[in-house]
Structure 1
């Protein structure tokens, strides 16, 4: 068995801190996370929080952006499975089925969006995640001859975000109820003609 190095231990502490931050953001909300509570949840000394991260805010940001990236990065393979824009929409909305608005990912998503309204650095980081997703979606829509792919991607991304945010208040806002409405934006009338 190989000996654990100092770098390995440092990576493990960072991983535990990020996991603890993600859980606490979902449970307590962004402002409810303190260095002491975070360190206790991660099972480390409070001083290690600031040893591994520039600030508590930097740690929370990295944890939250990791959740958002995981969510959006998981959508790209769905696009690659779809043959038509309508199928892509159905797959994107279907991927939200496990997000009730009260699950940890939904709560981190909601808390992060709210915190981003008050923190410029976080706003830029969230904006970067959104821009990457919109760019990928626009590329895919353009390849499938949807008119105005960048604008369509922006609206569809906002709609998907909105469904995720609203689901906590309206559990009936399912893919089955939303898809027919959004599908109209992707009909043949919205496609380029040769």
Structure 2
């Protein structure tokens, strides 16, 4: 793929991410997307098999970048409880109405109607859980896979709830107990 082609794809995926946040998944049209990206509508279908494929790639790429941030958390963490603290601290950057929160909400909703997107998002979540479980296993946490699954689902749930229940940080004590290493 040439540099120009790569640049157009980047502009399209950036525009798609912005529009998903602003208009919701179903509010994005090829015309609006092309206009936002500064290209002709034909280029949308030249670079992607469908509008849905473009929206999916944009959303999954954003989720993947977010999950990739886990590596820094795990490198800095000194204990399983510290992992909880750092994940909740990262979560505090999201109000529930910020762009990433809205993108996550829209994407999760879209997975209910699109099996291919559901599979791609499930892969991102499985990667998050696997990284977390491996770290937990190395640090003596009981049932590391199940603990990682519960913590990942809790973080996702808290992110989805932020707009409605911003006091969700009260869960920190409970989550620290779940990951505490027992002697």
In the superposition, the TM-score normalised over structure 2's length comes to: 0.97
SS of the residue corresponding to residue 141 of structure 2 reads: coil
For residues 171 and 23 of structure 2, what CA distance do their matches in structure 1 show? 30
Deviation at 1:105, TM superposition (A): 0.7
Which position in structure 1 is the counterpart of 2:86? 91
Work out which of the two has the higher radius of gyration on C-alpha atoms and give 1 or 2.
Answer: 1
For residues 72 and 8 of structure 1, what CA distance do their matches in structure 2 show? 27
1:98-137 alignment, distance < 5 Å: 98-137=93-132
> In the TM superposition, what whole-angstrom CA distance separates every residue of 1:50-92 from its partner, at most 9, and x where no partner exists?
0000110110000000110111110121011111100111001
Which position in structure 1 is the counterpart of 2:38? 43
Which position in structure 2 is the counterpart of 1:152? 147
For residues 9 and 169 of structure 1, what CA distance do their matches in structure 2 show? 43
| Greater helix proportion | 2
Which position in structure 2 is the counterpart of 1:180? 173
For residues 8 and 79 of structure 1, what CA distance do their matches in structure 2 show? 35
Count of residue correspondences: 183
In the superposition, the TM-score normalised over structure 1's length comes to: 0.92
Unaligned 5+ residue runs, structure 2?
A: none
Runs (4+) of structure 1 exceeding 3 A deviation are none
Deviation at 1:140, TM superposition (A): 0.2
For residues 158 and 83 of structure 2, what CA distance do their matches in structure 1 show? 16
SS of the residue corresponding to residue 95 of structure 2 reads: coil
* 2:8 maps to 1:10: no
